Each structure stands twice: as structure tokens, then as C-alpha cells.
Chains A and B, each alone.
Chain A
């Protein structure tokens, strides 16, 4: 068997190996490929940048094992931006059973407990079960739904939550999710209270979110890892997402090349016949 024959029969491992290298190399040696910023991501940044002292930002997430790679960098980038601003009250809430782990992780990685005071500047309400009903309760009357925070402190003893009662008091909501609960926030917070909402989405769900963005129901979207990378760039704190974006760019370029190569091979083969 000649090399050429064996290649034409067994080409797949080679395709896989090249992809492996293209994704792996930039992770070890970041290339710094250029990164244009999408308008929907810039909108999120501008809105958060315009927040004033005393404003309330609710950041909720549904991060789990499967979508962690796409959503966690978004979560981290948005929280980093919020933590930098003074006097903003940050409320964290989780919608999935696995999600609280990621909130604890991000607070640790961002050194939040040293930078800000827990209970005055930020609070973690923990996992609230009940899907849409939970979100509805949170928007109607936060104090009635939640009695304790993630660490078991009674809500009444947390100073920053004294004047926060309904979704009317939320200045913005950033929902980072890959599931249907983005729709829940639109139903329960935007529709009755006109609370400003932004979504951070996994790529499969971006089409759904885009429809809301075009209709003006949400003020911005972070699109998958790309959105996280753009946000990291805007806040000037490069992290995992920007490095990952180099790998994304190379992988997309490679797939485009493969499609072209496949067609060239196809038409060459047909000519021979």
C-alpha cells in the first residue's frame, strides 16, 4: 500500500490531529489574533459602565458541567466589571443545582471578599428551585421568597437588601444561561416591570436571544465564548476567553479550509472518472 492510498482511505485521524494542534497550540502560546467587537456585546458593556452608585445589578446563572466552557468566562468577565465600579449592589442567584459551585469559584478567583464587603456590596442568594415560579417570586417579592442567603444568613440581616423588594428595584438583570430560563426573565421581569435585561448565551441558543434583542426586549447579548472574549477585551482584563478565541478563530478557519478542500477533492475525483 502506498502512502497516498493509505491516506485516501484513512484521512480522518490526520484531520483530527491537525485540529487538535490548532486548538491546543494557542492555549499554550496565545497568538493575540485581532478581535472585532459586536454591537450587542458593546451594549452590555456600555449599560454596565453607565451604572451609578446605589444601582442594583442582579446576575443570575445556570452554569453546569456541559456549558461551563462557554458560560463561565462570561460570568467572570461581567462580575469583574461590576466589582470594579463603586457603590453598586450586586445580587447573585443560581437557577441550577450545579450552579452555586461556579458562583463560589468566581468570587474566589476575583478575590471579591477582599475587594468588597459581603452583605453591603454583594450577596449570593444561592440556588432557588422552581424554574419560572421561582423567578416570578423573586420579581414579585424577594423577601417573601428567599429567607436565607447561600451561607445561611437571614435575608433581613443583610443591609444591602433592605430597599430591594421587587423587580422594580433591579436596575439591570444579566442572565447567563443555556436553557429556557432566559424566557422566564422576559416573562416575569421585563413584561410586568420593564426591568432592563441582558443575556449571556451558549451558541446554540443565541438565535433565540437575537430575536429578543432585535425586538428591543433585551439590551444586549454575550454570544458564547466570543462574547466573553469581547467583554474581557472591553474591560481590559484578558483571561481564558481571549486565549480560547485564538483557538476558535483557527478552528473556524480550518473548517472553512476543509470544506473547500473536500469540494476540490470531490470535483477532481469526478474529472478523473
Chain B
């Protein structure tokens, strides 16, 4: 039985990939329908996968509570919040009900916004800690960063009008050069990685084993 499934995995990988490739350049209603169906199924399978995650999270925190570890109060808070959301959502049967929007807007929105906004603070400390001229390479990197600062903040133009125009030169020459090459490389690399997995050479992304 297990050998059937193991062979089945490789067959699924190959056949599904071929369906999507042909669908991309060949116009055929059956092909298109199959691809759309497969795509929709994946979303449903992923929804089922969330059960695995929620189970794993719950088990870990129940264990912490059982052991009465240092993190016990926090684990209780986590489980309480999680089940509050689940129960509110399932009871009101909608994610746009006033009760659900209330907990969503008062917990998830501000906390996510705070975390997102925090990255500017980390840019500040990284500028101090990491943008140092340790080598010629990092000198180039920090000089480019400096010139873009001149360009973006109006105040530098007031200090000396040459500063932003220097920034503009760096901007025009550097901004798309490196990125274009990286993007081409990523496209080719995706093909390599995809091929290796589709032909069954790299098994790790399926969980390795055997």
C-alpha cells in the first residue's frame, strides 16, 4: 500500500505541473477547467491544514500550563483569546458581525500596526550598527544609502541644493540595475528548483523520509 502512495506522490507532482504548464500556453476549455478546479481545491486543503497548526499550538500551550512553567499566565491568555475569536466567529456566523469586528479592531489591528510601524526604529538602529565602512563594498552600500536620504528628505535640499541632485544621479543609475539582474536570476532559479522537485530529485520539500 505504501509503495502505491509513494509512487502516487511523484505522479501527482508531475501530472499537475504538466496540466498547469499546458494550460498557460494552450487554450482549451477542459484544460482550463481542470487547472481552475485544482487551484480551488488547494485553497480548501490549506484550510484543513490550519487544524494541524491550531492543534499543535494548543497542545504546546496546554503542556506549558500543565507544567506550571514560567510562561503559564501568558499561555492561558493565548488560549483564552484564541477561543474567544473562534467562539465569537462561529456563534455570530460571520466575520463582519459587530461583535467580531469589535474584537478584531481592538486587538489585531492595533497590534499589527504597532509591529509594522516598529520597523522604522529598527532601520535606525541598523543604520548605526551595520552601515559601517568595514570594506570597500560596504562603503559603496552606505554611500548609496546616504545619497538616497539626501534625495528623499526635503530638508537636505534646503541645506545644500547639490545634495538632492547627487541623490538623483545615484537613484537613476543604481535603482533598477541590480534589481533587474536579481529578478532574472530569481526567475531562472525558480525553474531549477521547480524542476528538481517535479522530477523527484529533491524530496525535502515533501518531508524527506524514505
Residues of A within 8 A of B (CB): 11-12, 15-16, 19-20, 33-36, 65-66, 203, 207, 210-211, 226, 245, 248-256, 258-259, 261-263, 266
Distance (Å) between the CB of A263 and the closest chain B CB?
5
Q: Total interface residues on B, using CB and 8 Å?
A: 32
Distance (Å) between the CB of B107 and the closest chain A CB?
14
In the bound assembly, the distance between CA atoms of A130 and B44 in angstroms comes to: 21
* Complex contact B152–A259 (CB within 8 A): no
Contacts of A66 in B (CB 8 A): 116
Interface string of B151-168 (1 = CB under 8 A from A): 011111110000010000
* Complex contact A252–B125 (CB within 8 A): no
Q: Is B176 an interface residue (CB 8 A)?
A: yes
Known: A34-B154, A226-B154, A255-B124. 17 other contacts (CB 8 A): A11-B128, A15-B124, A15-B125, A16-B124, A33-B154, A66-B116, A207-B175, A207-B179, A248-B152, A251-B120, A251-B124, A252-B155, A256-B146, A258-B127, A258-B128, A259-B131, A266-B132
What would 12 A/B residue contacts be, using CB atoms closer than 8 Å?
A16-B121, A34-B154, A36-B157, A65-B112, A253-B155, A259-B127, A259-B128, A259-B131, A259-B142, A259-B146, A262-B128, A263-B131
In the bound assembly, the distance between CA atoms of A211 and B154 in angstroms comes to: 22
Dominant SS at the A interface? helix
Q: Is B188 an interface residue (CB 8 A)?
A: no
In the bound assembly, the distance between CA atoms of A197 and B180 in angstroms comes to: 25
* Complex contact A266–B149 (CB within 8 A): no
Contacts of A254 in B (CB 8 A): 124
* Complex contact B155–A19 (CB within 8 A): no
Distance (Å) between the CB of B168 and the closest chain A CB?
10
In the bound assembly, the distance between CA atoms of A253 and B156 in angstroms comes to: 8
In the bound assembly, the distance between CA atoms of A51 and B72 in angstroms comes to: 65
Distance (Å) between the CB of A163 and the closest chain B CB?
37
Specify the chain B residue showing the minimal Cβ separation from A260. B146
* Complex contact B113–A263 (CB within 8 A): no
Distance (Å) between the CB of B196 and the closest chain A CB?
29
